[in-house]
Every structure is written in structure tokens, then in C-alpha cells.
Chains A and B, each alone.
Chain A
């Protein structure tokens, strides 16, 4: 059997006595795109952040290519492992003091130890992939939200991650800028990238997702292929959530 890229087993996370994730288990296969939906506060962001250890899980474990994601070891080992996960934030979080190019180049240079010129060459290629070559020398403030998010995607891709994690990548964008970001994500998925995407863009999920997961109260309440889960959700929670979403 082929080892899944990500294996999550009984992952739990509490903040104080607030149980945010309750024994979540799931696998993500190579090249698979998993979309996570669920009401605000259901634990989607926390789940993604526990995968790359931006947040320390309270219990359970995560494996990447079969290797446990460490919580001990040297800072460098932990950082190197974390860099195998590409993470795209809701609010882009680009570095405002760098050009688009340097936002993408800084990781390869400082983390992978590439020379500045090699890092920039790689960054230029990644910017091309997200159709941002024309804006390479601009600072983030000079870019629209959609452009910033595409640079953020390139920044993550430049680390050659095993999997890309997206946390509501279009929810902070003006409606007219959403599609350009979704298009880039779709190209990535079609190119074989393994992706876990938290999003409420139903059309994207329908077209791109191999599997949709509905989260409720820190649990996976339901999962399945999009055409089935969207058409006939079984759990009352998913039914209510999807009805609410399509009526917006």
C-alpha cells in the first residue's frame, strides 16, 4: 500500500478547557485535494495549524510521509519539517518590507541555504506559476488582495512542500478578486499537488475536491466526494450548514 502523505490519528487540541479538536483522524493521499467546510469556530483553522505545528496538539499524532511530525528535536529539525507543509493564510501575511520576489526568495535563501541569486531565480519561477511575473519588484502594499494571496502561494511553493494547506484563502478578498486565486489553486491541484483547503467556495470544492470534510464542534461529522456530500448530506448539521451556505 502507498503511504499517505499525511496521516492524522486521534488529533485533539484544547485551549484551556475549551476542546477545539476532538480525536480527529484522517489520511490525505498523494495528489489528493481535500476541502474542509464547517461553521465558524468548528476548529478548521486549528486543525490546519496543528498539522504544521504552528499550534501544538494536545494529543494524537500527525505523520508526514510516514514520519511522525516532531515536537522535540533541534529547532532546525522542527523548522525543516514544518517547511514541508506550505501554509497559506487567510490574511496573506506577506512581508511588507520585501518585494514580491524577495517574499518568495527569503525562504529558499535562509531556510534552504541557497545563494541569493539561485533563490531569486527560483522565486521568479514560482511567481510565474501564479502569474505574478509582472509584479515581481512591487511591494505588497502596491498589490491587490488577490495578487498578494498569489504571491503568498508562491512563497509557500518555493519551499517545495509535500502538501499545501490553505486556510480560507479567499475569504478576506473582494469578490471580484476571488477567482484569480481559485484559478491558481485549481492549476496546482491539476498539476498533482496534494492540498488541504479550508474554503466555503462551493464551486471550487465541486470542481477540484476529491473529498469534502464537514467539521462540527472539532469533529469530522461527515465526509465524502463533493457531488454526494453536497447533494445529499446525511447529518442534520451538514444539511443546515449547506442550506445556509447556498442561501447566501
Chain B
């Protein structure tokens, strides 16, 4: 087979816009997912049984259904309930909701692994459960949470390619637009793979640096 180098050269800058959108979606969804996930994770450690059950149900639902279906639910089903987003924000919301469930599990695991003596010492001076979670246990869990959270971020960046199905003009969708005009699927999909690969390598590297900078006790 012959490789159309011309189209590759032409596509590299064209895909740049897609990269920007992929980064925007990923950044927004990871921040929202992190915040929501931490809140959900702390709820899953609370003394309130209803709260724990709600979070467990939510996590179970997210883990038990395909992300593609979750994206469609946000994009098609929520508007029927009067909640309306454009494609971009629908994508951000779907990825955030998905990611939050995984972050919640990471937080629960990380906080749960802190030695029992820590919460006992805090209990003994009269701190309440919620204060102990927020001021004593969570901060000690940060460092060990970085690797699993990085994995989650990597999944999120890769998963953002699924947003092409609701026409978010991210990297994959941008590639598909070129393919539909020039019919060069091999070249473009290979190029997309390289783009994603580089993005993810950079993120892993940044996360490694962050992990080393966080203190150990």
C-alpha cells in the first residue's frame, strides 16, 4: 500500500484544533470529576447510611454501564427532562459524571488505608467524623492517590474520543472529518494514535513529577 504523506503533513495542523478541544474537555471533566468524586468519596465514608447507599448505587451504575450509553443519556435523555447542554458541555458533563465514580472509589480506598490510630487520636480530642475525614485522613492520602488518579485521567483522555459520536469536535472527530473528505483512514487513524499516545505520555510524566513533589510522612 502507498502512504499519502501529503495528507499527513496537511493534517498535522488541522488536527491541532481537535487537540485543543480534547485538552479542554479533559481538563474540565477531570477537575469537575475530581471535585465531585472527592465529595462522593467522603460521602461513602460518612456515618450516614442513606448517603453511603446513594453513592454505592451511583458508583455501581457507572461501573455497570458503558460510557457510550452514559454519553447518550446525558446528551439525549437529560434534555427530555428539561436539562439542556450543547455537545461540548454534554460531553464534559458525561465524562465528569463517569470519572467521579472512579475518583470516589480511589478516595474511599486511600482514606480507608490510613492507619486506625490516626482517627482514634482525632476522636480522642473530640473531633467529629466529618472533621477527621477532611483535616486528618484525606490530606494523608493525597500522595498514594496520585497513581490511581493518573490512571483515571489517562482513561478520561482516551474516553474523550467517544465524544465524537455526539459531534464534539475533539481530536477523533477532527480526524474523522478529514477522512470523510479525503478517504485516508489508515494515515489519519495512525496519526490520531500518535497524538493520543504523546498526550498520555506527557500526562504520565507530569503525574510522576507531582507524586515525587508531594511529601511522604
Contact = CB atoms under 8 A, between A and B. Distances in A.
Contacts of A214: none
A97 B139 contact: yes
Contacts of A96: 140, 217
B121 A95 contact: yes
Given A54-B123, A110-B127, A111-B126, A93 B117 contact: yes
Interface stretch (A72-80, A130-138, A202-210): A72-80
B215 interface: yes
Contacts of A52: 124
Interface in A112-146: 139-141
Given A93-B117, A97-B139, A110-B135, A75 B128 contact: yes
A159 interface: yes
B120 A107 contact: no
Contacts of B122: 95, 106
Nearest to B116: A93
Contacts of B127: 79, 106-107, 110-111
A89 B128 contact: no
A52 B122 CA distance: 13
Contact of B125 (A76, A97, A140, A159): A159
A75 B129 contact: yes
Given A96-B140, A97-B215, A82 B118 contact: no
Closest 8 CB pairs of A and B: A83-B126, A96-B217, A93-B121, A107-B125, A93-B117, A87-B124, A111-B126, A79-B126
A85 B140 CA distance: 26
Contact of A82 (B47, B117, B123, B129): B123
A155 B217 contact: no
Contacts of A139: 217
Contacts of B47: 75
Interface in B110-159: 117-118, 120-129, 131, 135-136, 139-140
Given A52-B124, A93-B120, A141-B217, A106 B129 contact: no
A93 B118 CA distance: 6
B117 A156 contact: no
Given A95-B136, A110-B131, A82 B217 contact: no
